[in-house]
Amino acid sequence: MSILIDRTARVLVQGITGRQGGFHAKLMMEYGTDVVGGVTPGKGGEWFEGKPVFDTMRMAVATTNADVSLVTVPARFAADAIMEAADAGIKLVICLTEHIPVSDMMKVVAFCQRRGTRLIGPNCPGVMTPGQAKIGIIPAMVATPGNVGVVSKSGTLTYEVGFAMKNHGIGISTIVGIGGDPVIGTTFVDVLEMFENDPETEKVALLGEIGGSAEIVAADYIKNAMTKPVAAFIAGRSAPPGKRMGHAGAIVDGGEGSAEEKIMALEAAGARVAANPEEIPGLLA
Amino acid sequence: MSILIDRTARVLVQGITGRQGGFHAKLMMEYGTDVVGGVTPGKGGEWFEGKPVFDTMRMAVATTNADVSLVTVPARFAADAIMEAADAGIKLVICLTEHIPVSDMMKVVAFCQRRGTRLIGPNCPGVMTPGQAKIGIIPAMVATPGNVGVVSKSGTLTYEVGFAMKNHGIGISTIVGIGGDPVIGTTFVDVLEMFENDPETEKVALLGEIGGSAEIVAADYIKNAMTKPVAAFIAGRSAPPGKRMGHAGAIVDGGEGSAEEKIMALEAAGARVAANPEEIPGLLA
Amino acid sequence: MKLHEYQSKFLFRDFGIPIPQGKVATSPNEAYDIAQELGGVVVVKAQVHVGGRGKAGGVKVAQNAEEAKRHAASILGMDIKGLAVERVLIDPGADIQQEVYLAITNDRGAGKPLIMTSMEGGMDIEELNRQRPDAIVREHVDPIMGLHDYQKTYIASAMGMPRAQWRSFGRILSGLYKCYSASDAELAEINPLVITGDGDLLAVDGKVIIDDNALFRQPALTERRDTSGEPDSERQAREAGITYIKLDGQIGCMVNGAGLAMTTMDMTKLYGDEDGIGPANFLDIGGGASPEQVAAALRIILSDENVKCVLFNIFGGITRCDEVANGILTAYNEVNPDVPMVIRLQGTNAAAGNRIISEAQIPHIISAETLTEAAQRAVAAVKERS
Amino acid sequence: MKLHEYQSKFLFRDFGIPIPQGKVATSPNEAYDIAQELGGVVVVKAQVHVGGRGKAGGVKVAQNAEEAKRHAASILGMDIKGLAVERVLIDPGADIQQEVYLAITNDRGAGKPLIMTSMEGGMDIEELNRQRPDAIVREHVDPIMGLHDYQKTYIASAMGMPRAQWRSFGRILSGLYKCYSASDAELAEINPLVITGDGDLLAVDGKVIIDDNALFRQPALTERRDTSGEPDSERQAREAGITYIKLDGQIGCMVNGAGLAMTTMDMTKLYGDEDGIGPANFLDIGGGASPEQVAAALRIILSDENVKCVLFNIFGGITRCDEVANGILTAYNEVNPDVPMVIRLQGTNAAAGNRIISEAQIPHIISAETLTEAAQRAVAAVKERS
């Protein structure tokens, strides 16, 4: 199944009657993803593109036997929606929502860990296993099936790299967008470990950026535990310190989280780091 | 080791410099219990009867390698003390403290479950494995070693029954006082299960009282899962409904928790229920 | 600690729950003024700590202020199940479309707060539970996380609340959970929560019980305690730090430990019931009671005129029986009871304690070795004096 | 969102943390009055959103009100790292026995609040962390449970706080955690927390940063935003819902997505750095930006006089490149830029988008197929115009 999802994933979309949620639910269905229904409090009993809409995840899961949830609700409702999914027994929750307060996410991440629920995101483009299923907003056109795993903090940068790979004839096993927020459910290391253990993945592309130390921790993992080759790119070499570069997590603070230190750590760990993301296909060839 | 504790238990007393804590710590040591130290915030560095006193459980556990804690601190500090013990890695916490608010206990019980810490009590007399160790306030004189397990919601009633057993030449494997509060860490069923699996226990005496439905649940367990004979007594047949009989949990409320229904359930489960606690030794003979 | 209806509702209001704009009156004139101010139909409601006040005539509808005054005059001072009515709540009449039940309570078995709610409100929840248990939606709350927003949607949906009311019902549910939680309540109940003709929600009756053990951190609520329904003896005992509950029998019981105290009561009934004899009270003097406390407890027991005999049952564990014996003698000399006293001391230093008692050579004192013997002798003593 | 020192300390006070009884002045006369009212020695402190104000002369001690007025006159209006001082805080002088560092911040790696504290306060925490990392005690807080009381004892003990201060330090720690938590702070820092000669604790300087994403539920804090340190262009962008950060280079960048926007900046620098050419800004127009937003973004980019070329890098995923192309044309016609624009559209409907641009036949427009090509052409365009 490559990692996380394949064509058997049964997906609920939380916020399916919203503009964003509905739009992407349709694209997901067109791609072949098995969207089994959606949840919008107060709209239970309605239908969306032939799929049932429920008031709560509890009712939705009981009826559809779904195993993955995609959260597309606005920031102020997102923490509750994720916990609702976890409490309903969903083991993989993917949250696209941007601008969730960090204090909410700290609680939610601790909550999901206790419940044994894997959370991807928030503020991420989702997960795609090319040719099988996509859950989130990654465009179908940016990837073909193959043996390179892609893990990234960013959305369009990932599309850029995926597209470049496709143009070079390089296919992808799974793309995982982990999101650019300071506190996220699944880290680089979590995904690297899945790729390392995935027989359908032979190489890995890691797309990081300034802020935090997740790439340093990832370098440590690459050095100590990974056998598969890793190509990487770190965005934000030209970003000034103390400024938040769009993503809530993309800030060099107190001398920590600079692109230079991440690049150095990754290179020291044996990863091949591109100065330009369009070099990634070459490093993977 | 019979259940829960034996002579190898390494015990910390939280509140050891308090009047009650110190008094019972000494009696425990006289009984042979391995009290390895105590904790009183602000008194770290002092000594109590040759044992070190620490400011925090974290420091106490790191130094003494204790594995059991006895909480004797006043009610308003007790919830924090129990969680402190659990966070310090203690896997068995026994709490004597009475009058802890129920809302605190609901949080604490959930917290201990998540930490994998067994809590006995609160508002209980503690645990004693006769001839080996006692942790709590159960008087040494009320029991001799033997093969009857005793589990009880009450303190002095347990002594009464233990003493009567001793006078009839019946010994005890372990006494567990689970406490008379509405929300407690360890229930009758938890202890019955331990006795059922304990090779050194052959019979069990269960001392219940009005309020709640723990004895009904216990009857269910006895009926479905116990092979060892159980003798029981339920206190409060003469108690009026709607009144709290000393123990915070001892109240017949909305027609629930009466002695009659508990006695009926236990008898239906095959337990022998005494009308007078002094009949218990006869039922166990 | 129970709160009155008006106290409960005013507390609800602090947590954003809509309640009728009523006020409390302690006199018919006050009731008149409040009804006048409210205008229109009002309800005059007795504020007492017992159930069934409606059937007892403690709740009456008035068409105008004059009638409210008359109703208040008849209800104030009324005796409801032994309690005198000292206050009435004057509430504006509500336009009731539907009555809903909503409560949060401690589920002791689960160790969690439990929300219970039903579209069939108005009646007693125990009655509803017997008649139509499926009409009640039950939802636990994680005591650490608190109430999740999604649970409100689930509850509203599962109970069949009309969608138009989901939002306001959700706000009330949040408010009630905050109230329950911030007040250390054992029970926070709205019954009925009314859906009015305009589709608004209104908490028309309420009941809150506070956990006594949490009163130390609830000073504002503690101040609201109304002890008028509590027997004097129980109040005195509470103030002396002794747990005492008055019962109907003839044998006053003084025991250390709650479980043993209940058991001692049970034994007097076991051996006395066929002669109509039983316990006069529950009393737990606790561990290590001082002679002063023993004396205070003895005075409280004897303040009950039904008491024909006092039974001491002390199992000395940490408590030493010789000390208790001295306490009993001190108390005896102070209180000078004129009823027989059965004294049973067992456990630590029991022999010494019994020697102290017997050497004191007090008339009316009967010794006993076992609890059974003690209970039987107390019953016999009562029979003798009847 | 950063709070000023005085805002931070007044917020601390709301959570029970003792602070000096100072006030804010916006004129020398006000400073005089405050100093007169406080009496004795006072400290006049510039309130600006930059560090290092002490070294810049923005903090001065005054022996009396007259001197406070003089200091205020010199500090008000002072330029500290590009920011004009508009307010001074007049605090009474503190009797400093010891300076302590205490802060709570988000530990993003652990996903938990982190308490950092040290008996070696006063200096910058990063400096302290470099020089004496072992002098800092670090303790995580469970985000769901909050701060346990026992952790306060552990922290006070581990850092070497004198026992006489444990209780008051514990209260301050509780207050600061509540403040951090209730305010959705990313950072709540007291530095120094002073132990006075009398053994009291006093938060003499404070710094609070609020999570911008939580401002929707912090209306009272949002009102306190001081935008005086923010460039006009960034404020305009924020108000238009665009993320824009002004930089020093010559190539204005308009990109969809934060990661790609940074990457685009990096590419201009990668190919321009040896000629001193680089990005003029970070700008993320987000997904599905309207022609109006593209125009607004273009105006903001061009408000920077350094800009010699604008680079559009749009990777159409969900966004359709033909729509973006139309947006660019609309914006071009509205704004009429006089600098060359490099346009690179890729992804969904890229061919159509590129056709729209080329058919518009606009001078100064340079097409590019890849990001590399786009960056190189933008650098070349700047070189041409230098």
Q: What is the pLDDT of residues C1-36, one digit of tens each?
A: 999 999 999 999 999 999 999 999 999 999 999 999
Residues D103 and D211 in one domain: yes
Q: Is C186 among the domain residues?
A: yes
Predicted pLDDT of residue D347: 86
Residues C277 and C373 in one domain: yes
Q: Is D227 among the domain residues?
A: no
The rounded radius of gyration (Å) of the Cα atoms in chain D is 26
Residue A139 has pLDDT above 90, yes or no: yes
Tokens standing for residue B100:
């802890």
| A207 near D CB under 8 A | yes
pTM (predicted TM-score): 0.94
Question: Which of C318, C320, C349, C372 to mutate against chain B (most B CBs within 10 Å)?
Answer: C318
Instruction: Please confirm, yes or no, whether C244 is among the known catalytic residues.
Output: no
Burial call A122-161: b when 16+ CB within 10 Å, e when fewer: bbbbbbbbbbbbbbbbbbbebbeebbbbbbbbbbbbbbbb
Q: Which among C5, C67, C99, C101 is annotated as catalytic?
A: C101
Residue B1 has pLDDT above 60, yes or no: no
Specify the number of domains making up chain D.
Answer: 3
Residues D241 and D140 in one domain: no
Residues D345 and D210 in one domain: no
Tell me the backbone φ, ψ of residue C220, rounded to 5 degrees.
-65, -40
pLDDT in tens, B15-66: 999 988 999 999 999 999 999 999 999 999 999 999 999 999 999 999 999 9
Q: Is C4 among the domain residues?
A: no
Give the pLDDT band (50/70/90) at residue B119: very high
d(CA B42, CA D167): 9
Predicted pLDDT of residue C230: 76
Domain boundaries, chain B: 10-120, 139-284
d(CA C290, CA C288): 6
Instruction: Reduce the DSSP state of residue D309 to 3 states and report it.
Output: strand
d(CA D191, CA D10): 15
Residue B71 has pLDDT above 70, yes or no: yes
Residue C116 has pLDDT above 80, yes or no: yes
CATH of the domain at D139: 3.30.470.20
Cross-chain CB nearest to C265 (options B99, B239, B254): B239
**Percent of chain C clearing pLDDT 70 (strictly above):** 100
Mean pLDDT of C203-232: 90
Residue C82 amino acid letter: G
Predicted pLDDT of residue C238: 83
- For residue C287, give how far its alpha carbon lies from the nearest alpha carbon of chain B (Å): 9
Residues C116 and C214 in one domain: yes
Q: Is D7 among the domain residues?
A: no
Predicted pLDDT of residue C241: 82
pLDDT in tens, C188-203: 999 999 999 999 999 9
Task: Mention every residue, 6+ apart, whose C-beta is less than 8 A from residue A227.
Answer: A196
Strands (E), C275-328: 281-284, 309-316
| D149 near B CB under 8 A | yes
The set of chains that have 3 or more CB pairs under 8 A with D is A, B, C
From D44, D129, D51, select the one nearest D93 (Cα to Cα): D44
Task: Mention every residue, 6+ apart, whose C-beta is less than 8 A from residue C147.
Answer: C115, C141, C173, C174, C177
Q: Is D51 among the domain residues?
A: yes
The set of chains that have 3 or more CB pairs under 8 A with A is C, D
Residues D245 and D380 in one domain: yes
Count how many pairs of residues, chain B against chain D, have C-beta atoms within 8 Å: 31
Contact (Cβ atoms closer than 8 angstroms) between residue C313 and residue C262: no
Cross-chain CB nearest to C148 (options A42, A44, A83): A83
Residue C381 has pLDDT above 80, yes or no: yes
Residues D262 and D217 in one domain: no
**Range of weakest confidence among A51-55, A243-247, C211-215:** A243-247
pLDDT in tens, C48-66: 988 788 888 899 999 999 9
Return the residue matching tokens 């004892």: D153
Predicted pLDDT of residue D317: 77
- CA contacts within 13 A on the Cβ side of B280: 33
Mean pLDDT of A122-143: 95
- Per DSSP, A131 falls in state T
Residues D181 and D206 in one domain: yes
Residue A5 has pLDDT above 90, yes or no: yes
Q: Is D315 among the domain residues?
A: yes
> CB distance D258–A183 less than 8 Å?
no
C-alpha dist (Å) from residue D75 to D21, D22, D274: 20, 17, 41
> CB distance B55–D148 less than 8 Å?
no
**In terms of CA atoms, which chain C residue is nearest residue B177?**
C259
- Among candidate residues D41, D69, D92, the one where a domain is terminated: D92
Considering the four listed CATH numbers 3.40.50.460, 3.30.470.30, 3.40.50.261, 3.40.50.10420, the one that applies to the domain covering B139-284 is: 3.40.50.261
CB atoms within 10 A of CB A237: 21
Predicted pLDDT of residue C66: 96
Strand D206-210, strand D201-203: pairing: unpaired
Predicted pLDDT of residue D287: 73
Q: Domain A10-120 adopts which CATH fold?
A: Rossmann fold (3.40.50)
Q: Is C58 among the domain residues?
A: yes
- Among candidate residues C190, C222, C254, the one where a domain is terminated: C222
Predicted pLDDT of residue C99: 97
pLDDT in tens, D226-277: 877 777 888 888 888 888 999 999 999 999 999 999 999 999 999 999 999 9
Domain of residue D237, residue span: 232-385
Residue A9 has pLDDT above 70, yes or no: yes
Task: Mention every residue, 6+ apart, whose C-beta is less than 8 A from residue B69.
Answer: B11, B12, B13, B14, B57, B85, B90, B92, B93, B94
The set of chains that have 3 or more CB pairs under 8 A with C is A, B, D
Contact (Cβ atoms closer than 8 angstroms) between residue B150 and residue B180: no
Instruction: Reduce the DSSP state of residue C149 to 3 states and report it.
Output: helix
Residue A1 has pLDDT above 80, yes or no: no
Predicted pLDDT of residue D195: 98
Strands (E), chain D: 23-25, 42-46, 59-62, 79-80, 83-84, 88-92, 96-107, 112-118, 137-140, 185-196, 201-203, 206-210, 243-246, 251-255, 281-284, 309-316, 341-347, 365-368
Predicted pLDDT of residue C337: 86
Residues D366 and D280 in one domain: yes
C-alpha dist (Å) from residue D364 to D360, D361, D375: 12, 9, 15
d(CA D77, CA D66): 19
**Percent of chain C clearing pLDDT 90 (strictly above):** 74
SS (H, E, C) chain B: CCCCCCCCCEEEEECCCCHHHHHHHHHHHHHCCEEEEEECCCCCCCEECCEEEECCHHHHHHHHCCCEEEECCCHHHHHHHHHHHHHCCCCEEEECCCCCCHHHHHHHHHHHHHHCCEEECCCCCEEEECCCEEEECCCHHHCCEEEEEEEECCCHHHHHHHHHHHHCCCCEEEEEECCCCCCCCCCHHHHHHHHHCCCCCCEEEEEEECCCCHHHHHHHHHHHHCCCCEEEEEECCCCCCCCCCCCCCCCCECCECCHHHHHHHHHHCCCEEECCHHHHHHHHC
Tokens standing for residue B98:
């009475």
Contact (Cβ atoms closer than 8 angstroms) between residue B119 and residue B109: yes
Domains B10-120 and B139-284 share a fold: yes
Residues C192 and C306 in one domain: no
| A221 near D CB under 8 A | no
Task: Mention every residue, 6+ apart, whose C-beta is less than 8 A from residue A112.
Answer: A82, A83, A86, A93, A118, A119, A185
Q: What does the mean pLDDT of chain A come to?
A: 96
Residues of chain D with pLDDT under 50: none
Residue B254 has pLDDT above 80, yes or no: no
Instruction: Please confirm, yes or no, whether A168 is among the known catalytic residues.
Output: no
- Among candidate residues C202, C222, C242, the one where a domain is terminated: C222
Residues C84 and C112 in one domain: no
Residues D190 and D300 in one domain: no
